[in-house]
């Protein structure tokens, strides 16, 4: 569900025509709908209504500080994976008491920063990390709240690059190892065990893997109980998928009900870390057609946004729907590769895609680009990173200005 729709043949974000944003801010530009973001947060929250819960938005999905400010206002917590993300959350006015910190390679400085700001808990991903957190907490005269990231070894049936919960992955520890780690924490006076965490992967489009993981976590939590390990939180991670093309992922309501049903009697607060499902369909990348080019039998539509702006198609072969900003009803379709200006053959938005015949100068909305879009973008080919715009009803605000050529060299020149 999102608020990008055609009105009288023109594509709008909420009540703002995208053509107006393109004209005033330029292209390429990420455009986000505040109403969509808020709706997704509320729907998730409602889905978990029957159990005590905390929604910790996964900052990595879209980290713009102005968007984080909205999440703070809507009462969410935050799932972070770096000191930089913690800094953003705090700068946005977020409270560290609602922050949880994951990641397999937290540095000592990041751990100290998180302890100093008193985050809710660390999701610990190895025994070496547990010891590191303990020693830093002890040296600082603090107590670190922790949960252990336990892998139920469930196949999330998603793209291998975004699968995380199996034995072969670098994330978390196996259930037997997790059980041993919980026992070991008894000797660690500067660590307080508060929870257990699990994150299977991202863009999961069926309930099966979630159900399997919930069943094993339940069993695991009961075993911990018999070991006298008392928990307050079950953090079930993120991962719920969205519809990029024909996928039909479970709704947040179905997902939430399943999680609540499976965990209700455990007496724990349920923490969830959704990212994609909140931000994905709330944003698009607006691009302009530069040129058309035919090469043998192949037709290319060259647009002004490249893989540095949106790397998902190059990285995962992912599908983004392409909507012309001026509705092309009845217009002839042609099969093209939609490509950007970057000097890599991996620089494509879509391959062999049937699209309405667009002319240079026309605008194209690359849909479902709100999560892992801008946050994965780079300056490759010395392309300034694009602007970001947040639409609220009839108005919009530039929430990140387009970078300039000066921005490209600023940090390099200041070293001398
Ligand atoms: C630990 C953790 N939590 C939450 C998320 C968010 O996942 P998603 O955006 O699929 O909800 C991720 C994504 O990689 C993650 O690694």
Residue, of 331 and 301, whose pLDDT is higher: 301
Per-residue pLDDT at 375: 98
- In this structure, the dihedral spanned by the alpha carbons of residues 67, 70, 74 and 76, taken in order and rounded to 10 degrees, is 40
CA end-to-end span of the chain:
50
Handedness of CA 27, 32, 33, 36 (dihedral sign): positive
Summary mean pLDDT of the chain: 95
Q: Report CA(275)–ligand 1 centroid distance (Å).
A: 6
Which CATH number is 169's domain given? 3.20.20.10
11 and 91 fall within a common domain: no
Task: Tell me the pLDDT band of 331, cut-offs 50, 70 and 90.
Answer: confident
Q: Report CA(277)–ligand 1 centroid distance (Å).
A: 10
122 and 256 fall within a common domain: yes
12 and 67 fall within a common domain: no
Q: Which two structure tokens, joined as six digits, stand for 68?
A: 């984080």
pTM exceeds 0.85 for this model:
yes
Is residue 104's pLDDT more than 80? yes
314 lines ligand 1 (CB under 6 A): no
Q: Report CA(57)–ligand 1 centroid distance (Å).
A: 9
CA distances to 171, 195, 219, 225, 267 from 222, in Å:
23, 13, 5, 5, 12
Instruction: State which of 41, 56, 57, 60 you would mutate to test the pocket of ligand 1, scoring each by most atoms of that ligand within 8 A of its C-beta.
Output: 60
20 and 96 fall within a common domain: no
160 and 257 fall within a common domain: yes
Share of the chain above pLDDT 90, in %: 90
Average pLDDT, integer, range 38-45: 94
361 and 384 fall within a common domain: yes
Per-residue pLDDT at 133: 98
41 and 15 fall within a common domain: no
Active-site residue numbers?
343
Average pLDDT, integer, range 350-357: 93
Per-residue pLDDT at 415: 63
d(CA 291, CA 251): 40
Residue, of 1 and 123, whose pLDDT is higher: 123
Q: Which of 408, 358, 362, 415 is nearest to 385 (CA)?
A: 408
DSSP code string of 146-158: EEEEEE------S
Q: How far is CA 229 from the centre of its chain?
A: 32
2 lines ligand 1 (CB under 6 A): no
Per-residue pLDDT at 166: 67
Task: Tell me the pLDDT band of 414, cut-offs 50, 70 and 90.
Answer: low
Q: Which atom of ligand 1 is nearest to the CA of 164?
A: 16
The total domain count for the chain is: 2
Task: Tell me the pLDDT band of 108, cut-offs 50, 70 and 90.
Answer: very high
84 and 196 fall within a common domain: yes
Task: Tell me the pLDDT band of 217, cut-offs 50, 70 and 90.
Answer: very high
Per-residue pLDDT at 329: 80
Out of 241, 257, 277, a domain closes at 277
Is residue 160's pLDDT more than 90? no
- Count CB atoms within 10 A of the CB of residue 117: 15
- In this structure, the dihedral spanned by the alpha carbons of residues 294, 298, 299 and 300, taken in order and rounded to 10 degrees, is -90
Average pLDDT, integer, range 1-26: 97
Task: Tell me the pLDDT band of 122, cut-offs 50, 70 and 90.
Answer: very high
239 lines ligand 1 (CB under 6 A): yes
Per-residue pLDDT at 332: 86
335: which strand partners? 354
For the stretch 60-76, pLDDT in tens is 999 999 999 999 999 99
Average pLDDT, integer, range 105-128: 97
Out of 257, 277, 297, a domain closes at 277
Q: Which of 127, 77, 107, 73 is nearest to 235 (CA)?
A: 77
Instruction: State which of 199, 209, 281 you would mutate to test the pocket of ligand 1, scoring each by most atoms of that ligand within 8 A of its C-beta.
Output: 199
Q: Which atom of ligand 1 is nearest to the CA of 103?
A: 1
274 lines ligand 1 (CB under 6 A): yes
71 and 196 fall within a common domain: yes
For the stretch 357-395, pLDDT in tens is 899 999 999 999 999 999 999 999 999 999 999 999 999
Buried/exposed code over 312-339 (b: 16+ C-beta within 10 A; e: otherwise): bbbebebbbebbbbbebeeeeeeebbbb
| Cβ(64)–Cβ(89) below 8 Å | no
338 in helix, strand or coil? strand
Q: Report CA(79)–ligand 1 centroid distance (Å).
A: 8
Is residue 416's pLDDT more than 70? no
For the stretch 258-297, pLDDT in tens is 999 999 999 999 999 999 999 999 999 999 999 999 999 9
Q: How far is CA 302 from the centre of its chain?
A: 28
Q: Which atom of ligand 1 is nearest to the CA of 102?
A: 1
Buried/exposed code over 268-284 (b: 16+ C-beta within 10 A; e: otherwise): bbbbbbbbbbbbbbbbb
Per-residue pLDDT at 407: 97
Which residues have C-beta within 8 Å of that of residue 6, sequence separation ≥ 6? 12, 327
For the chain, what's the residue count?
Answer: 416
Q: Which two structure tokens, joined as six digits, stand for 137?
A: 């907490």
| Cβ(206)–Cβ(171) below 8 Å | no
Which CATH number is 372's domain given? 2.40.37.10
The closest residue, in CA terms, to atom 14 on ligand 1 is: 202
Name the residue with tokens 């970078």: 403
Q: Report CA(276)–ligand 1 centroid distance (Å).
A: 8
The parent domain of residue 247 ranges over 34-277
Task: Tell me the pLDDT band of 171, cut-offs 50, 70 and 90.
Answer: confident
252 lines ligand 1 (CB under 6 A): no
| Cβ(299)–Cβ(332) below 8 Å | no
155 and 295 fall within a common domain: no
CA distances to 17, 73, 278, 360, 363 from 323, in Å:
14, 32, 21, 15, 9
Beta strand pairing call for 233-235 and 269-272: parallel
Q: Which atom of ligand 1 is nearest to the CA of 204?
A: 10
237 lines ligand 1 (CB under 6 A): yes
Q: Which two structure tokens, joined as six digits, stand for 120?
A: 């809710």
For the stretch 80-95, pLDDT in tens is 999 999 999 999 999 9
Name the residue with tokens 């699968």: 163
Task: Tell me the pLDDT band of 161, cut-offs 50, 70 and 90.
Answer: low
202 lines ligand 1 (CB under 6 A): yes
56 lines ligand 1 (CB under 6 A): no
Q: Report CA(194)–ligand 1 centroid distance (Å).
A: 20
Work out the angle at residue 343's Cα, subtended by the Cα atoms of residues 341 and 345, and round it to the nearest 5 degrees.
95
Out of 253, 277, 301, a domain closes at 277
Per-residue pLDDT at 284: 98
73 and 180 fall within a common domain: yes
Q: Report CA(153)–ligand 1 centroid distance (Å).
A: 17
95 and 143 fall within a common domain: yes
Stated as kind and residue range, the H or E segment containing 355 is strand 348-356
14 lines ligand 1 (CB under 6 A): no
200 lines ligand 1 (CB under 6 A): no
């Amino acid at each position: 569900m999102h608020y990008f729709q055609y009105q009288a043949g023109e594509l709008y974000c909420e009540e703002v025509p995208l053509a107006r944003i393109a004209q005033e801010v330029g292209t390429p530009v990420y455009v986000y709908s505040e109403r969509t973001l808020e709706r997704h947060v509320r729907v998730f929250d409602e889905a978990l209504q029957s159990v005590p819960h905390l929604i910790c938005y996964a900052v990595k999905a879209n980290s713009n500080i102005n968007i984080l400010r909205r999440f703070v206002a809507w009462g969410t917590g935050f799932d972070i994976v770096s000191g930089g993300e913690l800094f953003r959350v705090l700068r946005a006015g977020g409270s560290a008491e609602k922050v949880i910190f994951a990641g397999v390679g937290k540095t000592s400085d990041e751990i100290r920063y998180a302890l100093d700001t008193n985050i809710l808990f660390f999701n610990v991903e190895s025994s070496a990390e547990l010891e590191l957190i303990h020693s830093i907490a002890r040296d600082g005269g603090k107590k670190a709240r922790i949960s252990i990231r336990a892998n139920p070894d469930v196949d999330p049936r998603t793209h291998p690059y975004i699968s995380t919960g199996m034995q072969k992955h670098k994330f978390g520890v196996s259930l037997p190892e997790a059980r041993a780690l919980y026992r070991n924490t008894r000797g660690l006076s500067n660590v307080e065990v508060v929870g257990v965490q699990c994150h299977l992967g991202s863009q999961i489009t069926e309930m099966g893997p979630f159900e399997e993981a919930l069943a094993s976590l339940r069993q695991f939590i009961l075993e911990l109980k018999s070991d006298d390990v008392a928990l307050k939180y079950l953090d079930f991670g993120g991962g719920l998928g969205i519809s990029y093309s024909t996928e039909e992922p479970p709704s947040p309501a179905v997902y939430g009900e399943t999680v609540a049903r499976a965990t209700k009697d455990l007496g724990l607060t349920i923490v969830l870390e959704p990212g994609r499902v909140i931000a994905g369909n709330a944003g698009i990348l607006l691009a302009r057609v530069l040129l058309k080019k035919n090469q043998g039998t192949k037709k290319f539509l060259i647009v002004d946004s490249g893989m540095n702006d949106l790397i998902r198609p190059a990285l995962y072969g992912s599908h983004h729907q392409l909507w012309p900003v001026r509705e092309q009803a009845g217009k002839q379709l042609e099969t093209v590769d939609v490509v950007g200006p970057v000097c890599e053959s991996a620089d494509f938005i879509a391959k062999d895609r049937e699209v309405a015949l667009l002319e240079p100068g026309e605008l194209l909305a690359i849909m479902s680009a709100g999560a892992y879009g801008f946050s994965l973008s780079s300056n490759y080919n010395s392309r300034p990173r694009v602007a970001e715009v947040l639409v609220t009803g009839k108005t919009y605000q530039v929430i990140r200005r387009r970078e300039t050529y000066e921005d490209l060299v600023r940090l390099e020149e200041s070293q001398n």
